[in-house]
A and B are shown apart, each in its own frame.
Chain A
Amino acid sequence: MRNGYEVLVVDDEPIVGKQLRQALSKDGFNVETCVLPVDALKRIDEKEFDVVVTDIRMDDINGIEVLEHVLNKSGKTKVILMTGFAMMELARYAMENGAFDFLEKPFTPDDLRAAVGKAVGQPRQFPVK
């Protein structure tokens, strides 16, 4: 069942976008994916997304630039950054610059769904291991 929330996933690896779309669709999110950050910026200008999930390290335009673009356009859209090169300072920098959450790749679908759920104000509860 659709929950009506619009999510944009930006990652230069098509397989990542495909997997994240699958994971989020299970929770009813409408997911769009972009492989090229330039295309993502265009889509962000055209449409107001509830959540943008973006990789940080990409060619031409990086995730921090996507974050800045989103925040300049709309304060409502939440941005979740993900990277395979996570470090404390990078996480702090991202949060300081307005990111909603920061994920280290690889992450579990539950981590992603929990982060996106929290971003749209519908926190998911997972059983404590």
Chain B
Amino acid sequence: MAVITISKASMGKTVADGVRREFCYGYFDSDEVFLAASKDFGVPEAKIRSALEVAPKFWGMSSATRQKLIACYQSTLAKFLLRGNVVYYGPAGHLLIQGVSHALKVFLWPGDNTTGKSVGYMSLHEVINGESLCDLVIDTGKTSVEDAVKIISDHALSTRYHTTTYSMNCVKNIALSSKVKAALIDVDHDVNVRASGGSVYIHVRAADRKRQKLTAAIGNMVKSIRDVVNVEVTVTEDIFQKYAGTYR
């Protein structure tokens, strides 16, 4: 059966609770994930919370730190979703868990009150051009809690959202790649990590002279992470560093 992620909104918790009751599913929210991520990665809970919930400011958290904390959250969230038959209520579920066929991603949308356009519910294709970040967008301004629960439940019953071996592996891959990403962001905040099975494919950029050292260092760092079986590191030349180096 499906994993259901419901985005944060004014009546979101009530909707999430209604869906959980409908299916007798497990339930967890962002507070639980913040706490678990804090334990998993040894980072203060408030920091992870602020990375996800507080808008970036000029003097605030650096982009690299934010990405690292988001990767920690993502990894823990994916681990929670591996339990199956759960409803997640919290921020960014539809952004952090992409490409998982058994995840029904619901976005609660306050609606377009300025034009008075009634949308009821619709696929995100109709809201955001061509993007399929969500499976379902519900206009909370025009839909009651009972109706929202019914709409979500009807969708979740579809065999489209049944768990497959592929989709479970996708969640495992997300959990592993985000764990590795969190570990490597200090090396390069643009690090690109993909996991498949236990194999991890990493792409970073570095100056030519650092390339060999960095490959070995990343390999050693990642091999010690649990569930990693094999590591492949690709280091491409950082053009900016190359030219910056010539003027030193």
Contacts and interface: CB of A to CB of B under 8 A. Distances in A.
B56 interface: no
Contacts of B26: none
Interface string A44-74: 0000000000000000000000000000000
Given A91-B101, A96-B160, 5 more contacts: A88-B98, A102-B164, A102-B166, A103-B166, A104-B165
A92 B162 CA distance: 8
B155 to A, nearest CB: 12
Given A96-B158, A96-B160, A108-B197, A88 B100 contact: yes
Interface string B206-222: 00000000000000000
Given A88-B100, A96-B159, A108-B197, A114 B165 contact: yes
Interface residues of B, number: 17
B165 A111 contact: yes
Given A88-B100, A108-B197, A129-B227, A95 B165 contact: no
Interface string B98-113: 1111000000000000
Nearest to B226: A129
17 contacts: A86-B166, A88-B100, A89-B101, A91-B101, A91-B166, A92-B160, A94-B164, A95-B160, A95-B162, A95-B164, A96-B158, A96-B160, A101-B165, A102-B166, A102-B167, A104-B169, A114-B165
Nearest to A103: B165
Contacts of B197: 108
A107 interface: yes
Interface in B122-170: 158-162, 164-167, 169-170
A27 to B, nearest CB: 16
5 pairs of A and B residues whose beta carbons are closest in the complex: A91-B101, A102-B164, A92-B160, A96-B160, A104-B166
B196 to A, nearest CB: 9
A115 interface: yes
Contacts of B99: 87-88
Interface string A80-117: 00000011110111111010011110011001001100
A95 B100 CA distance: 13
A101 B100 CA distance: 14
A103 B167 CA distance: 9
Contacts of A88: 98-101, 167, 170
